[in-house]
Amino acid sequence: MNTSKQTYLQLDQLRLGYQRPLLEPISWSLQAGERWALNGPNGSGKSLLLKTLSDQLTPIGGECLWSQGVRWVFLAQEHQRPALWPLKGHDWLQAMGIQPGHLPLIEHLLNQRLDQLSGGQWQLLRLASVLAAGAEVILLDEPSNHLDAKVRSQSLTLLSQLQPHQSLLMASHDQDFIQASGAQPLTIEELTHVD
């Protein structure tokens, strides 16, 4: 089956906001295999769009249509580590339904307690669990936050392992990370501009 032209997501006059629209309507589609990086200043609507696409926020109007059978996963910008229980990396992956044997880049994190990981190690573990879920669409909100050079390189290696049919939509301020990931830059203004 040729998925290169399959539409995974269609936005039609999607209006984003909380009590009122904060952006102009968005009409846009995401095709199989596309890699996009939303960039722009803080407050431009990057995270707002990702939260809406991941059902964390309800759109104010318009339509957000996922194609039948398309699975998506979302990595939020910040996620609190479970502190009440002494969970380890392998426990986190098991809770996410991921088999650790398929993730050699994070093998060194599997027996470490989550509350003792650095911010970058925690982000890497979260990123690996999202990417290993096998979804067709990967939504990432600022995936390069909290990363030192080594963890950044490991994160880019994980992203390079996306399958040709998988699509990526991430928000990032980090132009070097965007370029190294192979994603094409896209601004909210481009999404709201209709020719």
Domain 7-192, what fold? Rossmann fold (3.40.50)
The pLDDT tens digits of the residues spanning 117-166 come to 988 999 999 999 999 998 999 999 999 987 899 999 999 999 999 999 99
Mean pLDDT on 169-177: 94
Q: Which two tokens stand for residue 21?
A: 């629209």
What is the maximal distance between C-alpha atoms in the chain? Answer: 54
pLDDT at 115 over 70: yes
Banded pLDDT at 13 (limits 50, 70, 90) = very high
pLDDT at 195 over 60: no
Mean pLDDT on 10-38: 94
Q: Which two tokens stand for residue 153?
A: 């390189």
pLDDT at 35 over 60: yes
Q: How far is residue 18's CA from residue 125's CA, in Å, rounded to a whole number? A: 31
Q: How many whole angstroms from its chain centre is CA 152?
A: 15
pLDDT at 3 over 60: no
Q: Which two tokens stand for residue 158?
A: 């994980």
Q: How far is residue 177's CA from residue 157's CA, in Å, rounded to a whole number? A: 11
- Tell me the domain boundaries of the chain: 7-192
Mean pLDDT on 5-18: 94
Dihedral pair phi/psi, residue 145, rounded to 5°: -60, 140
